[in-house]
Amino acid sequence: MLGFVIRRLLQSVVVLFIMSLIVFSMINLVGDPVDMLVNPESLPDEIERVRRDFGLDQPVHIQYWKFLTGALSGDLGNSFIFGRPALSLIAERFPATIELATCALFIAVVIGLPLGIYAGLNPKGLKARMIMGGSVLGLSIPTFWLGLMMIIVFSVLLGWLPVAGRGDTAVFLGIESSIFTLDGLRHIIMPAINLSLFKISMVIRLTRAGVEEVMALDFIKFAQARGLSSQRIIRSHLLPNILIPIITVLAIEFGTLIAFATVTESIFAWPGVGKLVIDAIVNLDRPIVVAYLLFVVTLFLVLNLIVDILYAALDPRVRLQGGRE
Amino acid sequence: MKKIQNIFTAKGETERSGLDLLRNFSQPTTFVSGVLLLLVVLCATFAPLIAPTDPYDLSVVSILDGRLAPGEQMFDGTIAWLGTDGAGRDVLSAILFGLRTSLIVAVCSAFIALIIGLLVGLIAAYFGGKIDAFLMRIVDIQLSFPAILVALVLLALLGKGIDKVIIALAIVQWAIYARTVRASAIVERRKEYIEAATSLGLSSFRIIWRHLMPNSISPLIVLATIQTAHSISIEATLSFLGVGVPITEPSLGSLISNGFDYILSGAYWITFFPGIMLLATVASINIVGDRLRVLLNPKIS
């Protein structure tokens, strides 16, 4: 186990290093950030001065060396646009993204789980088929377009919910979040539902598959033969058996929620990391793009490692060998 | 050699699924999706012929026609059935042309990804050992990141343009093809006809190309269908975010993005209709692909 963790950590370091090398060398081929930073009417020597200030006049390998030595001491460079450390800009906005992703995950479970159980228990019924049809639609519908439609309906036509931003936040138990104020809740509800839609469909499908599999097993038949109420069977025999795979999948999917938050944040002007990085890509703010990328790669490597360890802990049949068969 | 191969390719199977295909496509949902998909492809192919106006001919497009509601008459007498956008372009025509761009990007990228994935998967399965472990490790690592994120990063690195989007989407998708091909090729690899071919002294290239490939390719048909739907949505999302296809040659995603600026003023049709078209396309491909998966896989059903 320990050997596995160490090997995976070493491998993660290699992946991070290669990633940084590729990203750094390729990002220098796209556009000229200096064009975005100076007034188009500046004199050539003014442009040269800006280029020198940002260290962009040096060859790529020297820039990369500077970046790498900085990165090892936790400094991923300053944003060209904001003039502040890229990593602290990301750290400031990350809580808003986590908040959005957590709310979306919560909604996905609260809505998806009951619907999935229902569809699994009554597979032939009309309602179950409608639920499953809805989940196909949910997987096909373009998330960003649905977000715009929600704005049209709930903000423009009905005027119920605000269009953009995070609203008021409050601190509760040391966590600053908008779900603790009414105004914040009104702001988060649309983006969270929008982000969760895809996951709701996924949870429905996973749950239904799990329910159908478990309900056919002998111990459920014995429970029914013992005359237990169907509520009790669902609660103490069905749920514990289907929850483990669902929880593991959701743990992996939390990462994709953070990735997809990029889109939702752009629509609802949610002040998270996703919005920051999209703006950075458009404005050629290279340090932020590089820092975000390394940040996300690290996040995913850690998430995957945790999931693999959890798998092994929950299911002794899984042997950890570093991914080889 | 032909004979040995024929014994093991199980010819009867394709005939059976041909019949099943007909029977299954008579189900209402699948039938409707199939027809819808056919219509979508036809619309995209013949867009220049059936579109009421050419939305990119600047001599025709007039700002005076800007933001007409659906059904209103344009300056030159044409009726804009789905309204016009802020610059006076007919939304219906823009959708038909946009659909074309979306489909071209998706199909090209799926095709390139399929070729790369096929090659990598076959090589991994045929040679096995260290080569296999190395290639599959790369696949694992790539698949542990969400597609949209990888595509976003690639486009940040590659810059804008239709060709760049196709490259990015191909890089995003190759891994899933490689894993699927490897899984089926590794089973074929152990069968007698490969052993026979090896003992006849055929070159590795010939065995892979003539024997391994034709027998491992069928799971890719379903995968390619579903991946095409997937890459249509990814492309639309990227274009919506402003990092996808350039605004000079808009896809459905860029049309929706364009309408984003007008939704607060109530001009819903600029975003609504391209989105419906996107949804119809993706959903019909998904349903048809799902049906195909059930049909071609004897384990399900």
Cα nearest neighbour of A152 on chain B? B263
Chain B hits for A152, CB-CB cut-off 8 Å, are 263, 268, 271-272
**Among A172-186, A218-232, B190-204, B243-257, where is mean pLDDT lowest?**
A172-186
Query: For residue B112, what pLDDT band results from cuts at 50, 70 and 90?
Result: very high
Query: Largest Cα–Cα distance of chain A, in whole Å?
Result: 88
CB contact under 8 A, A142 and B233: yes
CB contact under 8 A, A142 and B146: no
Query: What letter represents residue B122's amino acid?
Result: L
Most confident option among A92-96, B18-22, B48-52, B63-67: A92-96
Output B66 or B180, whichever has higher pLDDT.
B180
Kindly report the pTM of this predicted structure: 0.79
Helix (H, G, I), strand (E, B) or coil at A236: helix
Q: What is the pLDDT of residue A50?
A: 74
Q: Does any CB of chain A come closer than 8 Å to the CB of residue B150?
A: no
**Strand residue runs (E) in B34-161:** 72-73, 79-80
Provide DSSP, A113-180. Answer: HHHHHHHHHSTTSHHHHHHHHHHHHHHHS-HHHHHHHHIIIIIIIS--S-SSS----EEETTEEEGGG
Cα nearest neighbour of B261 on chain A? A148
Tens-digit pLDDT profile for residues B175-200: 999 988 888 888 888 888 888 888 88
What is the pLDDT averaged over residues B96-101? 87
Q: Assess whether pLDDT exceeds 70 at residue A176.
A: no
Q: What is the pLDDT of residue A140?
A: 81
What is the pLDDT averaged over residues A248-273? 83
Q: Assess whether pLDDT exceeds 60 at residue A185.
A: yes
Q: What is the pLDDT of residue B119?
A: 92
Q: What is the pLDDT of residue B12?
A: 41
**Among A6-15, A66-75, A97-106, B58-67, where is mean pLDDT lowest?**
B58-67
Q: Assess whether pLDDT exceeds 50 at residue A120.
A: yes
Q: What is the pLDDT of residue A123?
A: 78
Q: What is the pLDDT of residue A65?
A: 80
Helix (H, G, I), strand (E, B) or coil at B84: strand
Which residues neighbour B251 within 8 Å (Cβ) at sequence distance 6 or greater? B98, B101, B102, B105, B235, B236, B239, B244, B245
Q: What is the pLDDT of residue A37?
A: 67
Query: For residue A239, what pLDDT band results from cuts at 50, 70 and 90?
Result: confident
Mean pLDDT of chain A: 79
Provide DSSP, A30-57. Answer: S--HHHHHS-TT--HHHHHHHHHHTTTT
CB contact under 8 A, B271 and A293: no
What is the pLDDT averaged over residues A84-113? 87
Q: Assess whether pLDDT exceeds 70 at residue B2.
A: no
Q: Assess whether pLDDT exceeds 90 at residue B113.
A: yes
In angstroms, what separates the C-alpha of A159 from chain B's closest C-alpha?
11
What is the sign of the dihedral through the CA atoms of B214, B218, B219 and B225? positive
Query: For residue B1, what pLDDT band results from cuts at 50, 70 and 90?
Result: very low
Q: What is the pLDDT of residue A168?
A: 66
CB atoms inside a 10 Å sphere around CB B225: 20
Q: What is the pLDDT of residue A177?
A: 67
Helix (H, G, I), strand (E, B) or coil at B59: coil
Which residues neighbour B25 within 8 Å (Cβ) at sequence distance 6 or greater? B31, B34, B291
Question: Residue B183 corresponds to which tokens in the numbers above?
Answer: 């899984």
Q: Does any CB of chain A come closer than 8 Å to the CB of residue B300?
A: no
Q: What is the pLDDT of residue B63?
A: 64
Q: Assess whether pLDDT exceeds 60 at residue A325.
A: no
Output A82 or B41, whichever has higher pLDDT.
B41
Output B159 or B169, whichever has higher pLDDT.
B169
CB atoms inside a 10 Å sphere around CB A21: 12
What is the pLDDT averaged over residues A230-259? 80
Q: Assess whether pLDDT exceeds 70 at residue A134.
A: yes
Strand-pair partners of B79: B73
At residue A252, what are phi and psi to the nearest 5 degrees?
-65, -40
Q: What is the pLDDT of residue A317?
A: 60
Q: What is the pLDDT of residue A30?
A: 65
Output B23 or A165, whichever has higher pLDDT.
A165
Q: What is the pLDDT of residue B46?
A: 81
Query: For residue B6, what pLDDT band results from cuts at 50, 70 and 90?
Result: very low
Output A30 or B165, whichever has higher pLDDT.
B165
B13: left (phi over 0), alpha (psi -120 to 50) or beta: alpha
Q: Assess whether pLDDT exceeds 90 at residue B253.
A: no
Closest to A267 (Cα-Cα) out of B241, B243, B97? B241
Output B168 or A42, whichever has higher pLDDT.
B168
- Share above pLDDT 90 across residues of chain A, in percent, rounded to a whole number: 2
Question: Residue A250 corresponds to which tokens in the numbers above?
Answer: 């959701």
Q: Assess whether pLDDT exceeds 90 at residue B116.
A: yes
- Share above pLDDT 70 across residues of chain A, in percent, rounded to a whole number: 86
Q: What is the pLDDT of residue B108?
A: 92
Chain A hits for B279, CB-CB cut-off 8 Å, are 140-142, 145
Q: Assess whether pLDDT exceeds 60 at residue B20.
A: no
CB contact under 8 A, B236 and A278: no
Chain A interface, best mutation among B40, B149, B237, by max A CB count within 10 A: B149
Contact (CB, 8 A) for A291 and A279: no
Query: For residue A213, what pLDDT band results from cuts at 50, 70 and 90?
Result: confident
At residue B17, what are phi and psi to the nearest 5 degrees?
-70, -25
Output A62 or B1, whichever has higher pLDDT.
A62
Closest to A290 (Cα-Cα) out of A105, A107, A134, A78? A78
What is the pLDDT averaged over residues A66-83? 76
Cα nearest neighbour of A280 on chain B? B156
